[in-house]
Amino acid sequence: MKSNIGNTEKWVRLAVGTVLVLTGIFGGLPTWGMATCIGFGAIAIITGAINFCPIWSILGINTRKA
């Protein structure tokens, strides 16, 4: 698994993921909204933490500097 996420994108994903998870937990959303926020937030956090996005790999996108 080759890294395809740059440093800036990594930190943006971690920040946005954290906001989404916290919104899902504390936002007072209906169940489907809570699950959606937590799910997308978790995906953003995981991909940011491991510096790899499978969708970027499929689409041939690489934001990591050479």
Residue 53 lies in a domain: yes
Domain hosting 32: range is 7-58
How far is Cα 60 from Cα 50, in angstroms, rounded to an integer?
A: 18
**Residue 27 included in any domain:** yes
Residue 65 lies in a domain: no
* pLDDT tens per residue across span 27-49: 999 999 999 999 999 999 999 99
Does a structural domain hold residue 1? no
Written as one letter, the residue type at 62 is N
55 vs 39: CA distance, rounded Å: 16
Looking at the 3D structure of the chain, how many domains does it have? 1
Q: Please tell me whether the overall predicted TM-score, pTM, comes out greater than 0.85 for this model.
A: yes
Task: Report the pLDDT averaged over residues 50-57.
Answer: 95
Instruction: Say if 20 falls within a structural domain.
Output: yes
19 belongs to a structural domain: yes
- pLDDT band, very low/low/confident/very high, at 66 (cuts 50, 70, 90): confident
Give every CB contact of residue 4 below 8 A, 6+ residues apart in sequence: 51, 52, 53, 56, 57, 61, 62, 63, 64
Residue 16 domain-assigned (yes or no) = yes
Report which of 24, 26, 30, 54 is spatially closest to residue 16, judged by C-alpha positions.
24
